[in-house]
Amino acid sequence: MTLSVVVVGGGLAGLAAAWELSGGPKGPGPDAPRVEVIEAAERVGGPLLAGTFAGRTVDLGPDGYLARRPEATQLITELGRADDLVPIAASGASLYVGARLVPIPRSLSLGVPTTVDAVREAGLSWRARWAARRDWWWPAPLEVGEDASIGRIVRTKLGDEIAAKIVEPMIGGIQAGRIDDLSAATVFPPLLAAARRGGSLMKALTPPATAGASPAPAGPAFYSLRDGLGSLPPTLRGALEERGVLVRTGVAVSAVRRAATGPRWLVETEATVTPADVVILATPAVATAQLVGALDDDLAALARVDRAGAAMVALRFRDDDLRLPPAGTGVLVPLGTPWRGGGTMMTTALTFLDRKWPHLAREGETLLRAHVGRIDDRRWSEMDDATLVARVVEELGVLVGAGEPRETAVSRWAEGLAQYRVGHAALVERARTGAARVGLHLAGSSYDGVGVPASIASGRDIAREVLAARD
């Protein structure tokens, strides 16, 4: 009998699960399961979306992925698009500290300084430099258990200024969260391991001496696609449909319930009921809790994994309309940076798109993207597009001397990045145990990582588990 699998959620994890279920790089064999993907939105891909701006295709969501993880490159290659890969063209960025831009120091371990010189190079005060020197020679004691917040570890060891002006914009900014909430165990495991070892945090995070060691692997740090990373989901959807996978968009699943006879599950929408032997839930954790929380308390607890919304403003300038730093792909703005009109700046980061991706460059023009919003800053959601653009342009005047842009576009992501708070790993482990108790499967960025490679890995790993259990 042919196995029937329904994947709820057509984001990257759900599509990757369907790809693996339908045969992966080899394609479907004679015993391939029947696979159906059901997505509530009108398109697949979640935040991966490309659009036309300034006469070129740009990403309106994530615009690249970490190259050292192989999962995304592998999938893109399997789809026959390896020739479309574009390596990042520049590296480095600047911090906005003390009302000026300073290059981000090189002696950092994923955003945490590993030398006193790095703190000085970042333009921080003598108090911050003293805190770093103290950690090196007279480290503060700290006991951590199975998990601790990134903020607690860094503040205890290196002080508040380093935490707020270096670590928060780098780690908190990537996660759209607050380092005082974010789990070291899931977001930055080496930091938790370093804290557990005791002693100097900077010494524990310093890479080992490289004398006699093999050279670091060559290659770019990040990749994108020539027509935008947002082109990956539609490519994947087309390939799935060619294999006979049914992909339904604009259809919300209203219930997942046990069947009285026949296949184990019934997946209900407003107009249909699909029987399934296996159900993979590749939906955000909150949506998963709403759908199946009544089946198990540990699945209901997934409602605690909320998501940080954000907005992105793309802007086209003439080159002489602004003053960018001479190198780097962007600017990070620490939280709490005062704004001259009162309150704090809304912009958390700038990306210099045409420096980062050479295929976007045009003579005499500069493309920027401003990132706005964090888990506890939703001011952007209360503004219309014109008001938001005006505020961002005003802040860019302070950050990079920007004048009036020649063209702008706003993209909004009400459901952004999942927040991995302290205890996240334990919550996910309990939820997966609960899912196994009732015979369900979980995949997606709510669990194992928020990046593109992690989402792909999450979907394909679950699919492999399903196929292995069948065999």
Mean pLDDT by 10 residues, the chain (471 residues): 94 98 95 96 96 95 94 98 94 92 90 94 95 96 95 97 95 91 95 95 82 56 95 98 98 95 92 96 97 97 95 96 93 93 93 94 96 94 97 97 96 92 97 97 94 97 95 66
Rounded Cα distance between 108 and 359, Å, is: 29
Strand pairing class (94-97; 85-87): unpaired
Domains present along the chain, CATH in parentheses: 4-48+233-305+421-470 (3.50.50.60), 49-91+221-226+308-418 (3.90.660.20), 108-205 (1.10.3110.10)
Rounded Cα distance between 193 and 204, Å, is: 9
> What pairs with residue 190 in β-bridges?
none
The pLDDT value recorded for residue 208 is: 73
CA distances from 131 to 150, 154, 172, 364, 463 (A): 17, 11, 21, 44, 48
Give the three-class secondary structure for 66: strand
Type of residue numbered 160? D
Rounded Cα distance between 422 and 69, Å, is: 25
233: left (phi over 0), alpha (psi -120 to 50) or beta: alpha
The pLDDT value recorded for residue 212 is: 46
The pLDDT value recorded for residue 211 is: 40
Give the three-class secondary structure for 444: coil
Rounded Cα distance between 399 and 417, Å, is: 25
User: Tokens 């000085």 identify what position?
Assistant: 120
End-to-end CA distance of the chain: 13
Backbone φ and ψ of 312, nearest 5°: -130, 135
**Long-range contacts for 347-353 (Cβ within 8 Å, ≥24 apart)?**
347/371, 347/372, 347/392, 347/395, 347/396, 347/399, 348/169, 348/173, 348/176, 348/372, 348/373, 348/374, 349/169, 349/173, 350/396, 350/399, 350/400, 351/63, 352/90, 352/324, 352/328, 353/58, 353/63, 353/314
Give the three-class secondary structure for 33: coil
Cβ pair 153, 202 in contact under 8 A: no
Q: Tokens for 178?
A: 């607050």
> What pairs with residue 182 in β-bridges?
421
Q: Nearest to residue 43, comparing CAs of 195, 250, 278? A: 250
Q: Tokens for 175?
A: 């996660």
Rounded Cα distance between 93 and 365, Å, is: 20
The pLDDT value recorded for residue 1 is: 77
Rounded Cα distance between 168 and 149, Å, is: 12
CA distances from 396 to 176, 196, 369 (A): 20, 41, 11
Q: Tokens for 64?
A: 């690249």
CA distances from 347 to 53, 140, 384 (A): 20, 34, 16
Chain centre distance of CA 136: 32
Q: Tokens for 183?
A: 């789990």
Chain centre distance of CA 191: 19
Q: Tokens for 105?
A: 């120091």
Q: Tokens for 391?
A: 């505020």
Rounded Cα distance between 309 and 417, Å, is: 7
Q: Tokens for 292?
A: 């199946």
Rounded Cα distance between 122 and 334, Å, is: 12
Rounded Cα distance between 273 and 255, Å, is: 9
The pLDDT value recorded for residue 209 is: 60
